[in-house]
Amino acid sequence: MKDVFEDGHVDVAIFQPTNLKEWYTEGFNTTERNAEMGKKHPGKFIYNTNFDPRDQRRGPGAAQAQRRDVRLQGRQALHRGVEQRLARVQAERPGLLPLPRGRAEPRIKNIHVHKGPTIWPLDKDAFDVSDIDHCATDFQDLNFIIEHVGLPRIEDFCFMATQEPNVYAGLSVVIGGLMHARPYFFNKVMGELLFWVGEDKMTFGSDYGIWEPKWQIEGFVDWEMPDREEYAEFPKLGVAGKKKILGLNAAALYDIEVPAEYRLPAEAGTPGAHEVLGEGSPQPVAGA
């Protein structure tokens, strides 16, 4: 609470549970443990559930059971086969995915997918973003927030996210891992994301407790795209764009009420929104 809320400039935190039971006997920030933290501090946390396609013991039924006990708005998916897994979930547990348009009962709508740098003994190819391409097309009522933006495959991610309007860029590791350690590469990655994906579809993530949010947020607020020739083709990020990335986009995706004094004027655009597909195509649900 001190690292994130007292010192870290955070108003509402979104838990992404990573069970990691291969390394931790009781798991690492599981959905159930996250929910206990939320009960102690009402209004401070949104806690998602998760599934891992490698873990056949739990399956989609476990996530369905978790939904009965805690208020869930999203999930985090791990590793390869997201498309096949979601198709299976839809067939076996249709209530877990959004209902057809027009039904009022809320459903999970945000899928956070872990796609980023790996460590031994994990397989780098398992974190390729290509499965999201098909998945986002087939499930246009879902928002796919790709955590770590598919690093080191930033070009693949950007071209895919440009094509798929319901794919968002999650900046965990991008800011914490690159902003100070690899500033030139950070400028390139941010430039590519701003050019292709846009400031309305980028969300801050701190990767706590690997890193703390305080220095990341303060550094990002102060960051400016350098006025150098190699960055000339990239958009500049202004105050409004930084506000979107640091909170307003996520607030739109998760229906978090933003106080009037922190909202942006209409001319600054709609945080968290994506373009609408052509007439006659299936229409995705905007995050806002």
From first to last of the 288 residues of the chain, give the pLDDT tens digit: 999 999 999 999 998 888 888 788 888 888 888 889 989 999 999 988 887 666 655 544 444 444 444 445 555 654 445 655 565 555 555 555 554 444 444 478 899 998 988 777 778 887 889 889 988 998 888 999 999 999 989 999 999 999 999 999 999 999 999 999 999 999 999 999 999 999 999 999 999 989 999 999 999 999 999 999 999 999 999 999 999 999 999 999 999 999 999 999 988 888 988 765 444 444 433 333
Q: What is the secondary structure of 69-94 as a DSSP string?
A: HS---EEEEESS-HHHHHHHHHHH-G
The pLDDT score that the predictor gives to residue 77 is 53
The pLDDT score that the predictor gives to residue 283 is 40
The pLDDT score that the predictor gives to residue 78 is 46
Q: Quote the radius of gyration of the chain (alpha carbons, Å).
A: 18
Find the DSSP H helices in the chain: 31-40, 59-69, 82-92, 130-138, 154-163, 174-178, 183-196, 213-222, 239-243, 249-253
Using an 8 Å Cβ cutoff, are 17 and 29 in contact?
yes
Using an 8 Å Cβ cutoff, are 182 and 216 in contact?
no
The pLDDT score that the predictor gives to residue 212 is 96
The pLDDT score that the predictor gives to residue 280 is 40
Q: Please give the model's pTM, rounded to 2 decimal places.
A: 0.82
User: Which domains, and CATH codes, for the chain?
Assistant: 2-268 (3.20.20.140)
CB crowding 146-159: b at 16 or more within 10 Å, else e: bbbbbbbbbebbbe
The pLDDT score that the predictor gives to residue 103 is 42
